[in-house]
Amino acid sequence: MGHSVQILERCPISYLEPRGAGIVSGPSIDAFFSLFNSSPTPCINLTQRLYLDRLGHVIESIDRTQRTTSWGVLYATLRQLYDQPSCQCQDEICRQTARGERAAYCFGCEATSVIPLGNGAMAVEFITAQGRTETVLADLVIGADGFNSALRAGLLPEVQPAYAGYVAWRGVIPEMQLSHSIRGAYVGKMVFYQGEATQFVAYTMPGEGGSSQPGERRLNWVWYQNCGEGSDEHNATMTDTHGTLHRVTVAPGLLNRDVWDERVAISARCLPPPLGEIVKQTADPFVQKIIDVASHQATFYGGRVLLVGDAMAAPRPHTGSSTDQSAFQALKLLEVLRGKIDVTEWERKVLQHATDLLQVGVKIGADCGLGGSGLSPHPVNRLI
């Protein structure tokens, strides 16, 4: 399509490190990657959902196929398309990018603002790794800078990320480190437990390098628990081994040992025994606060600037759909670039899609008794 692309990435390293998290692969992820990738994206086909009671008995089992992949697999696939000049993809956008002629990946560059120049062009201001402020001109700016988006802060200052009042403890275990009985019961399935003000979800995801071979897969788990902003528990949880208080995530390897030991003890008291065992055996757990973000606008300056992904709206992770949302937006953007829809229609579709996901995520959290006093205004109200 003849577009020249420049990616500004804040992270100063040239290849982002996966944190091992699993991703539920939805229809738009599948459609997006099949457009740009000739071989199927590595994934695990789950066949069943199991719902457990407090003692670990299966109270309901539903046959339902679902695919899972990992952040690392999706990132590696995208980078391979970008990095390899020999990419065989038939799509014109991809070939141009893959040839490396018309695309630049600029890491260590933090976008700070977008400024209209009056002639239809936009200027994006950014700070380089060396601390210089520079500007790049663009016909189209796509703001994909995450839930704490600097571009959104300039465009929609009234939209503020808000803590939902609960955290997700997370971890990944190689399947061969699970006991024989847990492996036999849970691998290849999606497992749920819902207790008092808590939810636990575990599912199988690809192993290192995207392997779906039995013996090489991993079990990904997420355990949601209330944690009041500013409480002693909150501050202890979010303070890492070096004493740094984190705003959203305490990454693998940085969780305070005492905090984690306490969490393991709570898991033994509150979770079905096999799930408590999974928590206990996790080598590199991490914790993330659940953050609500909902923009009421996604296009600016006559469609010259777009907000996408978590920068536009961040559905709660119960939906397992945030990455799928981004893929949906990208597919719709392709329709704009091909002249099939206009950017107003793009905005209408992506806002409606986000609204639906936000509602589902908030409802699941509420149904599980998660969140509570001190919550932000209902995120969905700001969209509709």
Ligand X SMILES: Cc1cc2nc3c(=O)[nH]c(=O)nc-3n(C[C@H](O)[C@H](O)[C@H](O)COP(=O)(O)OP(=O)(O)OC[C@H]3O[C@@H](n4cnc5c(N)ncnc54)[C@H](O)[C@@H]3O)c2cc1C
Contact residues for ligand X, defined by CB under 6 A: 8-11, 22-24, 110-111, 144-146, 150, 168, 170, 222, 288, 309-311, 314, 317, 320-324, 326
Using Cβ positions, the residue closest to ligand X within the complex turns out to be 309
CA 127 → CA 131, 161, 307, 310, 323, distances in Å? 6, 23, 20, 22, 27
Measured from the CB atom, the residue of 95 and 248 that comes closer to ligand X is 248
Smallest distance, ligand X to C-beta of residue 321, A: 6
| Pairing outcome for strands 313-314 and 286-294 | antiparallel
Smallest distance, ligand X to C-beta of residue 67, A: 11
Spatial contact of 287 and 255, defined as CB atoms under 8 Å apart: yes
Write out the two tokens for 43. 């994934």
Measured from the CB atom, the residue of 29 and 98 that comes closer to ligand X is 29
What's the half-sphere exposure (Cβ side, CA atoms, 13 Å) at 253? 2
Which residue(s) pair with 44 in the sheet?
A: 68
Smallest distance, ligand X to C-beta of residue 68, A: 8
Measured from the CB atom, the residue of 170 and 218 that comes closer to ligand X is 170
Smallest distance, ligand X to C-beta of residue 103, A: 16
Report the run of H or E that residue 313 belongs to, with start and end: strand 313-314
Smallest distance, ligand X to C-beta of residue 44, A: 12
Measured from the CB atom, the residue of 183 and 289 that comes closer to ligand X is 289
Smallest distance, ligand X to C-beta of residue 127, A: 9
Which residue(s) pair with 289 in the sheet?
A: 167
Smallest distance, ligand X to C-beta of residue 320, A: 4
Measured from the CB atom, the residue of 76 and 314 that comes closer to ligand X is 314
Within 122-244, strands assigned E span 122-127, 133-138, 141-143, 162-174, 189-195, 198-205, 218-226
Between the two ends of the chain, the Cα-to-Cα distance in Å is 35
The total number of residues written for the chain in this structure:
384
Smallest distance, ligand X to C-beta of residue 300, A: 16
Measured from the CB atom, the residue of 95 and 125 that comes closer to ligand X is 125
Measured from the CB atom, the residue of 72 and 320 that comes closer to ligand X is 320
**What span, in angstroms and rounded, lies between the C-alpha atoms of 257 and 211?**
31
Measured from the CB atom, the residue of 30 and 340 that comes closer to ligand X is 30
**What span, in angstroms and rounded, lies between the C-alpha atoms of 338 and 340?**
6
**What span, in angstroms and rounded, lies between the C-alpha atoms of 206 and 217?**
5
